[in-house]
Structure 1
C-alpha cells in the first residue's frame, strides 16, 4: 500500500487535457485521470520529456492550471497546481458544496445522455451479426 500525501482527495475524472510549455510553442495531449483543487494525475500517450513547470489546459473546464511535476511513473505523472499551493485552503461553505455537487450531477447526466445517444446511433448503424 502506498501512503497518501495529499491534503485533498482527488476526484476521479476522465478529461481531455493539453500540456503546454516553451511559451506555448510546444504542446502534447493528455488525459486527466484524478483532479483536485491542488493537483492532478495525468496519463500521457507520449513518452516525452517534460519541463518541471508547465501549463495544463482542460478544455471541458475552460481552465489553465500552472502545474509543477511532482512524480513520474509508467502509468502517468502527478502534478501540483501553483496557485493552489500558494493560497491557504479556505473552508468550503456547506451551501457551496451542495450547489457544486448538483452542478456536477447535471454535467454527468448530460454526458450520460450524450453517450447513450452515441451508442444508440452506433447500434442502429451496426450490421446484424
Structure 2
C-alpha cells in the first residue's frame, strides 16, 4: 500500500515580514501569503531566484528573531520555504 504525504493545513495570512541572509545582514521586506506549521509561501519585491538555500524569516525587522528556513522552490517573485 502506497503512503500519501499529506500537507499541513495552510492559513491565508498576507502579513508583512522580513527575511535576512546568513549572518543577519540586509533585511529584505516580504509578504507572507500563507503559512502552516511546516512552512510558508512568501512574495518578494524582486526576483526570488536570487535567494540562497537558507534564510531567516521574522515578523519584525530585528535580525536576531525569526525562524531559520530552507527555500524549497522559487517562481518569479514568490518562494516556498520550509521551517528548519
Q: For this structure pair, what is the TM-score category when the shorter chain's length is used for normalisation?
A: 0.7 to 0.9
TM-score under structure 1 length normalisation:
0.53
TM-score under structure 2 length normalisation:
0.79
Larger % of strand: which? 2
Query: Superposition RMSD on alpha carbons, in Å?
Result: 1.7
Change in Cα spacing, 1:50 to 1:75, as seen in structure 2 (3 Å) is closer
Question: How many residues are matched?
Answer: 75
Larger % of helix: which? 1
Q: Which runs of 4+ in 1 moved over 3 A?
A: none
Q: Which has the higher contact order (CA 8 A, sep 6+)?
A: 2
Long gaps (5+) in structure 1: 83-129
Long gaps (5+) in structure 2: none
Report the counterpart of residue 83 of structure 2 in structure 1: 81
Report the counterpart of residue 120 of structure 1 in structure 2: none
